[in-house]
Amino acid sequence: VLDIPACHRLVFSVLVYHSALDICTYVLVGMASVVAQRAPRSKRGLLELAGTIECSTGRPALVYIMYGCYCGLGGQGWPRDRADWCCHKHDCCYDDAEIAGCETKIDQYQWTCIDMVPDCGSLKDRCERILCQCDQEVAKCLGKAPFTGKYALWPDFLCGYEHPTCNIY
């Protein structure tokens, strides 16, 4: 058995449980926390989502990258706690946005953070309004939900395959 630092074990577990696309997304969203601190407006797609989460929770969005079964890219199984349910609902919101023709991962919109509340202002573009509302709702939801450490870095295989449908919202 190799005795490697905890960081290397973490990276190894990420590689084992997630595809290369997931890892690239994790890096992009992780960078969003840095971008969100420097420029509270004019971010793109996933960067805007990360910024709104940081605004509402006070935590870097990176802590939600592999949280539970629905926070982060994709989702499967049954949500583990209130925060995970927030992410499930957000996935459903993004599904509706994509049906409406919006590009959930790349469309940009303008927003501000006022007293830990993401504010969409008066967006003229339909997709900008839809995406900002989705991101605003998940950010507020995560801000109210407890963060349960045991669900951080939760492996997908523990999520199962039975899942709630979006028509519950």
Cα angle 128, 167, 120 (rounded to 5 degrees) comes to: 20
Residue 70 marked in a binding site: yes
Residue 67 marked in a binding site: no
- Phi, psi dihedral angles at 57 (to 5 degrees): -100, -25
Structure tokens at 11: 């990276």
Paired with 118 in beta bridges are 113
Q: Is-contact 137 55, C-beta < 8 A? A: no
Q: Give the residue among 32, 70, 82, 97 at the shortest CA–CA distance from 154.
A: 70
Annotated catalytic sites, by residue?
A: 90, 135
Q: Give the residue among 47, 68, 21, 56 at the shortest CA–CA distance from 142.
A: 56
Could you tell me which residues are annotated as the binding site for Ca(2+)?
70, 72, 74, 91
